[in-house]
Amino acid sequence: MPEGQPPNVAISNQHEKPDDFSLPEFRALVSVLLGHRIQWQNILVELAIPYVDFRKDETSLVLFQAMYQAGPPSEGSALRQGNHALDDAGFSHELLHRLREAAGRIKQNWESSQALFSFICVATRVLSLSSDTDVHEACLRFLLETRRIAFGWLKQVRAEAQSATEEGFRLELLGKTAEIALICIASFGIDEHHLQVLLNSPEDASTLIQCSISAQECLRPEDLETRGSLLSLMIFRWKRVCHRASPVLSQVLTSAESRTVHRKKESTQEMATHSGDASILKKEEFTQGMGGHSGNALDDAILQSWSEYHKGSQWRPRSKPMQHWLETETATIQGSSLDVNFNLLTGELLVNGLPLSRLPPEYERHPTYRRLFSNTILYVMPSNMPGMQFGLKSKVAGYTVCLGMQIQDLVISACGENGVTFQIVPARLFESLLPESLVQGCTHWISGLCRGQNPELVGSFARASGRWSRAVGTYRAPPFNADSKEAGPCGRPRNPSNAFPLSKKALLLTGFVRKR
C-alpha cells in the first residue's frame, strides 16, 4: 500500500530493535518511511535534528528506499506523489542547506565516510528530480564540496596504508581507501549534460581518474562479486559513472586541446555558459603536481599514482571494440620507453602490460631495504632507468625512488625535486674503515656533481634511525673517470660499489667531515 506501515508500528514493534540501536534511534529510523507524501520531509527532519546514525548501513538503506519509493502518479506534474515535495524550490534549498551543515560536521573525520555517501546520494537524487536551475546549481556546488572532502580523505588514508607495517592493518586501510574512492566517485553520479561540463575541467577529470585507479587497485576480487551489500551498490554506481564518462573522457584526453590547460579552461567556460552552470565551475589553477606536464588530466592522475611517470607521446584510443583502452609511451630515457595503457571503464593501469605489483621477496629481505624502509610494504612499477628494475609507485620523503639488484647489493636511486640524484652505497664497503656507529648506524649516499668530464662524487651519511633525514656528515671520493666503462648517466658510476674501491689509506686521505 502506498502509505506504507501504520504510524504506530514504530512503537508497537520496538521489540524488533537491533541490539546496536537505541530506542529513540530505532523509532526515528522507522518513522522515515511513514507516509509516502512526507518521506522527503522526514529526511529533512533527520538532517536538521538527527536521531539516526548516518554512519550505519541500515540508515543508508532506509534513505535509499525513501528516496526511490516514488508512490502513485501526480495530476498535473511529471513527478510522482512521493517526490512532489522537490517541486518546491524553497524546500529543496532548505534540504541542501541541511546537507551542507551535516557534511560540515563530519569533514574532519574519514571514519564517517558512510555518512558522506548518504549525503551525496540525497543531493544527486534532488539534482535529478528538481526542475529549478538554482537548485541544480546549489546541488552541483554541494557535490563539489563533498568531492573535495572525500578526495582529501582518500589521500590521507592512502598515505597511511602505504606507510603501514602490519599486514592486517594495511589491508584494513586499503579496504577503506577503496570505499572512500567509491564515495568520491559517487559525487560524479549526475546526468550526462552536467557530467560533460564537469569532465571538461582538468581538475575534476583528474579526480575521477585517480579515484578509479585507487578503487581498482584496492578492491579485492571477492568485493567485485559481492551482491546485496552497500559496497556492491557503490561498485555498481562506479561502473555506471565510468560508462557515462567514458566517451567524454576519451574525447577530452585524446584531443590536441587537452595538451594545454588554458585552452581547456576556455572550452569549459563556453560549455558552462550554454548550460547555465558557469558560476560553479570557477576552479583554482590546475597546478597540483603537474611538474612540467602538458595539462592532460590523465597524465596528472597517473603522476599522482606513479611518481616515476614521464609523459611521452599523446594518448590515443585503441581501435574498436577496445576503444575504452587508451595507450601511450613514456618519454625515452637512455634509449628505452615504457608502454602505458589505461582502461576508462575499470580504472585499470598497465605498464608494459603489467599491473601494480609488490617487490620480490629477495628485495624485502635485504638488509639495506630493512634499514631504509623497515617492514613497510612497497608497491612498484617497471622502471626504464638503466640498472634499475623497479620504481616505487609513490614518492618517499619527496624523492622518486628506483630499485635494482646487482649480485649481493640492493641498488637504490633517489631523485629529489631539484633533480639531484642520490644512490646508496653498501655499508659493507666501510667495514673496518670507519667506526661501527658510522657503518651500521648510518645510511650512506653518493651524489654525482657534473663538472666537465670528471664529475666530483660527494657522499653523505644519514642516521639509520632517521632513514630519510638530513645528512650528519659528508665525504668526498677520489675523482671518477667519466669516460670509463663503469660510467652511467651524468658521469656517475652505474654501480656505486665501483666508485669506492677504496683502500684504507685513500679513505683516510679523503677524510670524513662532520657538519657543525
pLDDT tens string 52-74: 999 999 999 999 999 998 778 87
Share of the chain above pLDDT 70, in %: 78
pLDDT confidence band for 448 (50 / 70 / 90): low
Mean pLDDT calculated for residue range 483-501: 47
> How high does pLDDT run on average in the chain?
80
Whole-number pLDDT of residue 82: 83
Alpha carbons within 13 angstroms on the beta-carbon side of residue 144 total 20
Whole-number pLDDT of residue 496: 47
Mean pLDDT calculated for residue range 329-346: 90
Residue 279 has pLDDT above 80, yes or no: no
Residue 270 neighbours by CB under 8 Å, 6+ apart: none
Range from 63-77, 260-274, 375-389 carrying the lowest mean pLDDT: 260-274
pLDDT confidence band for 80 (50 / 70 / 90): confident
Task: List pLDDT tens digits, range 183-216.
Answer: 999 999 999 999 999 999 999 999 999 999 999 9
- Strand (E) or helix (H) holding 156: helix 133-163
The answer to whether 259 and 295 have CB atoms below 8 angstroms apart is: yes
- Strand (E) or helix (H) holding 63: helix 57-68
Residue 170 neighbours by CB under 8 Å, 6+ apart: 161, 164, 377
Whole-number pLDDT of residue 440: 77
Residue 492 has pLDDT above 90, yes or no: no
The answer to whether 385 and 413 have CB atoms below 8 angstroms apart is: yes
Give this prediction's pTM: 0.76
Residue 335 neighbours by CB under 8 Å, 6+ apart: none
Q: Which stretches does DSSP call E strand in 140-282? A: none
Residue scoring higher pLDDT (439 or 265): 439
The answer to whether 424 and 445 have CB atoms below 8 angstroms apart is: yes
C-alpha cell at 186: 559517487
Whole-number pLDDT of residue 103: 97
Share of the chain above pLDDT 90, in %: 42
Alpha carbons within 13 angstroms on the beta-carbon side of residue 291 total 18
Whole-number pLDDT of residue 476: 55
CA atoms of 501 and 163, how far apart (whole Å)? 36
Residue 81 neighbours by CB under 8 Å, 6+ apart: 2, 36, 37, 70, 71, 72, 73, 74
- Strand (E) or helix (H) holding 184: helix 167-186
Mean pLDDT calculated for residue range 267-293: 41
Range from 21-25, 312-316, 448-452 carrying the lowest mean pLDDT: 448-452
Residue 242 has pLDDT above 90, yes or no: yes
